[in-house]
Amino acid sequence: MGKILVTGGCGYIGSHTIVDLVENGYEVISVDNNSRSNAGVLDGIAQITGKKIKNYKVDLCNFDDTFAIFQENRDIKGIIHFAAYKSVNESVEDPLLYFENNLTSLINLLKCVQEFETPYFVFSSSCTVYGNPDEIPVTETTLPKPAESPYGYTKQMSEQIINEFSKSSGTQSILLRYFNPAGAHPTTIIGEMPIGKPQNLVPAITQTAIGRIPKMYIHGNDYPTRDGSCIRDYIHVCDVAHAHTLGIKYLEDERNTGLCEVFNLGSGNGVTVLEAIQAFEKVSGVKLNYEIGPRRPGDVIAIYANNDLAKKVLGWNPQFSLEDMMSTAWKWEKKIKQDEEMLTRQSPNLN
């Protein structure tokens, strides 16, 4: 098993994937400039796995610094590329920031892949590439519609770049289209730590329930769905993480039939925003304070996955239910608060 470079390794999905890779026998190094993540997660990874992971605090938009990582680690056999900005809302407000960061970092990384002949590349894509699909569930062959946000366009463009690069270079690539990762590691040692106001539903729910956010807003209840709220496909972060390990193994075992293959990572179930809230209230026993607000720019109406291909080809089998996602996310939220209260008690003069 070769050395795997995980970009964005201190992030939410990146950190859980590092744990899964290490538990499956891989040597892992990380690159994360911590502009939108917390380096403290590395301690959590070490606590779970017993392995200390080296992280390069490098901005992948800086080519020379990125190149230096490969010079120092000439035995990198595979890359799992997570590092990117991911807020739909922010991308609508500042599209150039998203195009510059998400595409420049990818291109710099692929230049290094080409120079050092790194054989395997797994890309963190998104169901946003499908836009507002004509039919659901979507399969990997569903024709993408125009993206609903600049963030979505960066994922569409990135997929095109990787596809063309793989054809020209012979690099074997996998595009993993996530739906909505949620939950935390069952140990509650690592989990989702959004910076500022959470853009994803589950941390918004748990932060409202714990009192960090006074009230949560549902973005529209007039969509053509069964209860008027948007439909999404929620998948536990540990299930998503394991799919990356399976993806690397799939390429190592030379089971791929094409240079660039695509897999959906979703539960296969469409859940409305209101149903997700009900699931949380059921497992937590907490009544959520929420209000219906206006629609949010960039949101698709409804999308969920057909995940048959990932199950059949990668041997991927999601283990966690929606209730598991809500339960682990809630335990993680309570742990964060407990840690903060302990820190405040130890440092009473802390501002």
Q: Report, as residue numbers or ranges, the catalytic residues.
A: 151
Q: What is the spatial order of strands in the sheet that 260-265 belongs to? A: 54-56, 27-31, 3-7, 76-81, 120-126, 172-178, 260-265
Q: Give me the count of residues in the chain.
A: 351
Give strand pairing partners of 305: 138
The Cα–Cα gap between 81 and 14 comes to 9
Q: How far apart are CA 66 and CA 57, in angstroms?
A: 10
| CA 35 – CA 320 distance, rounded (Å) | 30
Beta strands in the chain (DSSP E): 3-7, 27-31, 54-56, 76-81, 120-126, 172-178, 180-182, 216-219, 231-232, 234-236, 260-265, 271-272, 290-293
Spatial separation of the C-alpha atoms in residues 150 and 126, rounded to whole Å: 13
Q: Are 175 and 125 in contact (CB under 8 A)?
A: yes
